[in-house]
Structure 1
Amino acid sequence: MSSSYNPWLVLFSIGIAFFASYIALDLASRVIHSTGRAMVIWLIGGSFSMGVGIWAMHFIGMLAFHLPIPLAYDIPLTLASIIPAIAASAIALWTVRNGHQNAQTTFVAAIVIGSGISVMHYMGMAALKMQPSIEYTPLLTVLSVMIAIAASLAALKIIFTLNSNPGPKSITLLKAASAALMATAISGMHYTGMAAANFPINGMCRSSPQDLSSGWMAVLIGGGSLMLMLTTLLISIFDARLADQNSRMVKQFKEINSELLSYIKAIGQHAMITVTDKAGCILQANDKFCEISGFSQQALYGHDYRLVNSGTHSSLFFVELWATIVRGDIWRGEICNRAKDGTLYWVDTAIVPLKDSIGEIERYISVTIDITKRKQAEHELTRLGRVLDESSNEIYVFDAQTLHFTMVNAEAQRNLGYAIG
């Protein structure tokens, strides 16, 4: 029986094959880079969208085929032929998701995927219900299956290559070129399978009138599948951009966090840092604080600063300190503490309230610098000043460079008759 093809529907079927192939490459990236529930959603949704796209290409290719007799398709069998396409797509996405790139596993997966596509095609052909039955040329039939397997193998290799070598915007052109190659292979499988079909001269289609006819089916199936694939592609693009933004934000956060940690580490080498709760109980203390105070972090945890209180300052001093930080202001001052061994040490302290998102104080962070040596030097200078002032000798101290007086004791000022200040 003579046959012909509608060239516009042939081109339409190849276009859908290209679109389905491009989506397959795009979805593979989403499945690979997703985890948990998102990965499952992409795997299921991607398999359905890809499967419908591949099925639509084959079915529209069949609708492009014309015989000199009316043709119609059995609805249940036609719909059932989608299942192998979806299953083949799921296997493809699962294979690339798990990174099975060794030759043996990839080849086995390609055989399974190619077989699934072939089953879909020949189930669709069986939906014609021809009487007598369609006969197939064995060589072309085997060739069509081999093309399906080869196309599946090429698709897996391309997906592995694209996802192992992510690049800039040029990757889109490479993906489009790869999709064109895959579409050519998929279309080649279909039309080779159609060439393998031999329709008896006196054959007739046994599908009942209520079954779907081929007149409007191309627009319905083609338009529906294109809408489904386009929606999937747009969601994939949006998800990819969102994932890229999240990735950049995470990277920036890690860089900022690393920088802050380096600052904190540098500060911690010279300053004592503690974090307390709202009640003033110590939650964290750095090594410098432990080193100078003589207390371990375990001994400090849960205790307040009374553990290192030297008794040097009045209770009013600490009342004013707490009043400042409870208002949310920063307190700055000098405090004399007592180490575990009883040694007194002075610190220049800044206490900063840490607030939550609604402005409530959660914790306090204290950054202190050991100024014990400075305080000792100040005390020694004060003592020396008293000694000089109490001396009965005239004492003059001047700068060697400028010859300006820097200190003149009380006895010298009395003898000179005026104060030098």
Structure 2
Amino acid sequence: MRMLCTVDRSMAAAGGSVFISVGPPRMPKPSRRVAGAVAFALDESGSMDKPFAPGEPVRRHVTKRGMAAAAAALDKDTVVTVVRFATRAQVVYRGTAGELAARPDLAVEAHVGGATNFEAALLTCAGELRDHPGTRRILLFTDGEPTDGAAPEELAELGSRLAAEGIHIDALGIGEESRDSLLSGLVGDTGQTAHATATSSDAADFQRMCQELVQWGRESYVQGGRIFLAVHPDWRVGTVLRTHPQERMLSGCAAPARGGGTLVSLPLGAFGGNRWRPAFVVELIAPPTPRPSRQIVKAQGVILMSGEEQSLDGSSAEDIRIQVVPDDANSVYLQHDPMLARLVEGVRLADEVDQLVSQMPAGQEAGVYEEGLTRARKRGMSGLAHDFQDALQALGEGNHAADVQSATRARAARARTEVADLLGETKVRAPHHRTADDMRGK
């Protein structure tokens, strides 16, 4: 099977950056379909008895409606478990998505009470999912942060261990006490987050948020896998960005390879076909001096589908045969696609603004978003500019700064491109002919 990998930039000076996009090919649905499994983990701590927003029902009731909407968005035969948790966790429903969507009261409300123990919730959900033969996901609903059980860094490690087992986590935070930065660490490299601010508008929109968050799981039939990029020893690996299902910088993906060079390992998580596939952008940094022409990156991978491993072999994909051409200007000539560099630049700007907001004294967050809005507009990043504008409006309406920050983080992470466009599947690629000016670096 052909691994998809495309190249960015018509010219990268020695020491400059080249961006490649990588993702699995379209995978046909298996002839024998296995229903997926989803576990809903519902926060039952005391704060869930607070109104979602002034004049709105309590958070517990809004979350119950969101759970029913999420169940309705899944295939009817999806295996569903509902776990309610606070200090401890309790399974209150086992059945199918179709049954739960029709009768959400089947998930009997159990006021387990006490502190907020994410660890107990996740371990209980994992125990329910572990033996299921299809794709497996946990959807966590919470309006706080852990006050019992594992600490945030330990929860991130737990999330990674579960992902390695093929159990992937998505999380939806509610209000200012639920931090998207914590939930992002929890869901790791294969999950997604969303955030609902404590406002009437988000209370009205909550069911749609829940439906969108489970859509990836609904479309998944590949249970997991990895892509491996072998990078030539002359080149270094810079930024690694996951673009789908959400845009997120990845760390710890690159390591020295046997025999020299770098091996980049990209986790795929569970996914489906066409637009429901993961995709990544990897920055390669050119050597400081020109080298003879050679292949500098090779992509291969493996997926797990219907319980069987399948190899993805990208060694024959012409797009990954990147050539380093020595010339008078010490330049590297490659096909140009500015979208990849702009994706990375946008995520870097969003991360920079988020970090600055975290450091600002209370009441000074608006200035950071205003600066981010100006920079995003100047760089033509209309989607990110819109996110920063929404943040400024929310602050102006008196919303809590932490609530606004989490919502902005989650919105800025949403994928803004189609997988097929990112991987070059729909692009007409004209032959690239080097001219005399090219060879002189003009």
Q: Which structure has the greater CA radius of gyration?
A: 1
Higher relative contact order (CA 8 A, sep 6+): 2
Higher helix proportion: 1
TM-score, structure 1 length as denominator?
Answer: 0.20
TM-score, structure 2 length as denominator?
Answer: 0.20
Higher strand proportion: 2
